[in-house]
A and B are shown apart, each in its own frame.
Chain A
Amino acid sequence: MTEDPKDALASIREAREGVTDTLAYPVGWDIAYGAICGGLVASQGLPVPWSMLVLVFALAGLAICVQWWRNRVGWWVSGYSPKRARWVAFALAAVLVGLMGLSIWGKYAGIVWMPLATGAAGFVLAIVGGRLWMHVWKRELSEAQG
């Protein structure tokens, strides 16, 4: 048993650093995640049956990505769980919902290129948001006291 509280706190920090050591992930993850979010955004403004098709592919892709991550690193954390990083997830979700609204508006306004533009924006912002979330979470873990 660790008697010194400082040693115990050091072992906690060490264990958490072990988790962040597994955080290097391929660019393919970014592209897949961006494509899923871009697809979800664009699908709102596409005509039937394309909207349903893109939506189903995006949701299936999301399930595959989550499973791939869990199998690869052996842990899972939802974007909304960490106390500080969750605000990045909330902000990204708000932006994506806004883009979905634009897609729907474009559909009814007859702007055919709108889903492409919002989907592309969703793709880029999801990648940036995902990387930012990971950066904030990594820092949150290294600074955590409990």
Chain B
Amino acid sequence: MTPPLFDPVIHAPGRLQICAILSSVDEAEFALLRDSLKVSDSVLSKHLKQLEEAGYVKLAKTPMDGRSRTWASLTPAGKKAFAAHIAELNRLAALTG
């Protein structure tokens, strides 16, 4: 059981959704994340950079049809932090009834 811990890096709405998607799969492509969040490329890049700097997300580029596509995945530290953040959200939600 992961101990509850509020994480301000994860809690911002866009980053919370990014972590929710990445926690469900092994890796997700930039375009899928952008379309799911309904944000621009630059906004998503900013969110991903913040998560990457926190050590929560790993970014990898793969060539596809002559272009480079970015794939994102949660690091073990990211998985742990997200689980702790959700545990905290559940704890707070239980307190508010």
Contacts and interface: CB of A to CB of B under 8 A. Distances in A.
Contacts of A12: 16-17, 20, 86, 89
B29 A2 contact: no
A16 B11 contact: no
Interface in A69-84: 70-71, 73-78, 81
Question: Which label, helix, strand, loop or mixed, suits the secondary structure of the A interface?
Answer: helix
B16 A2 contact: yes
For chain A, give the interface size range: 20 to 34
Given A12-B20, A146-B82, A146-B86, A77 B93 contact: no
Interface stretch (A3-11, A53-61, A88-96, A113-121): A3-11
B92 interface: yes
A100 to B, nearest CB: 26
Interface residues of B, number: 30
B56 to A, nearest CB: 15
B41 to A, nearest CB: 15
Interface in B4-31: 11-13, 16-17, 20-21, 23-29, 31
Contacts of A146: 2, 23, 82-83, 85-87, 90
B26 A77 contact: yes
18 contacts: A1-B11, A1-B13, A2-B11, A2-B16, A5-B88, A5-B93, A8-B13, A8-B89, A9-B86, A9-B90, A12-B17, A12-B20, A16-B21, A74-B28, A75-B29, A76-B25, A78-B26, A145-B90
Interface of A: 1-2, 4-6, 8-9, 11-16, 18-19, 22, 70-71, 73-78, 81, 141, 144-146
